[in-house]
Amino acid sequence: MMVLQSPAKLNLYLRIVGKRADGYHELVTLFERIDLCDEIRLKPLKDGSIRIRCSHPDVPCNSQNIAYQAAQLLKKGLNVPSGVEITIRKRIPVAAGLGGGSSNAATVLKGLNQLWKLKLNVPQLVDYARQIGSDVPFFLYDTSYALGTCRGDKITKVSLRAKLWHVLVVPRVKMLTKMVYGEVKAPLTEVKLSLTKKNDNVNILIHHLRNNDIKAVGGAFRNDLEPAIYQLNPRLKDLKEKLKLFDIQGVAISGSGPSIFALTKTSSEALRIKKLLTQHFKQVFVVQTY
């Protein structure tokens, strides 16, 4: 039995710079790995089958599960005779913009690489990850922060020592990623990225993180999906505005939502705000950079 942690992510910065020829959007995003984790257990099966076990009602235990798809890709691609039972203990809210499913898939890829003794390096695993989902490659890298470009799946590790504290609120609202991106008004042309452009302030955000300037970090958060998210659910905009009334340094929606995170200076401030928010919301977490 192999037991692995499967962490969530936040998008501290997400800029849409255009629409690709393949139908996906061209992105610049800064990922932060956080210590809100699922647990993945991998148990070898001699009969060659792939099985999923999970008690969460919204997680499929069949081939629709993204972790199943990860295992199947490796098994078929490399003609692996062995099977595996994948047990997922969910702590990361499902379909919340936190990358829980993508993290599960990446964790299974890494775990099976060891369990099945495949000896694949990270670039080889990334080739499989890109076939599963745009967020999956990030979780293959052992890094707290990384820059994602192209579909968000081209990963560049960013070496930063900054440890951030967040209050994370996950409203019980379903936000389908396809629907959110469908609301985005972006040019239907290929866009070449230049991370040195003055108007591309992801570098400014990284600079503030490097200097551990928490107030400036919060002021540099960006998510170009927010107008589309508010179009689908205006109440999320109201929630974000209410969070601004607390003693926070910045607030944003992660990915395609509906999770909203607020940056605080200390853990004690985050815990104080969480205590107040739990009177109105069931899913409130205090999380830190992982």
Rounded distance, CA 71 to CA 175, Å?
Answer: 27
Rounded distance, CA 160 to CA 30, Å?
Answer: 12
Sheet holding 165-169, edge to edge: 250-253, 260-264, 165-169, 284-288
Token pair in block for residue 223: 């998510």
Residues labelled catalytic: 9, 135
Which segments of 46-136 are extended strands (E)?
Answer: 50-53, 83-89
- 161 sits in the region (left: phi over 0; alpha: psi -120 to 50; else beta) called alpha
Rounded distance, CA 141 to CA 159, Å?
Answer: 12
Closest by Cα among 283, 287, 36 to 165 = 287
Rounded distance, CA 267 to CA 167, Å?
Answer: 9
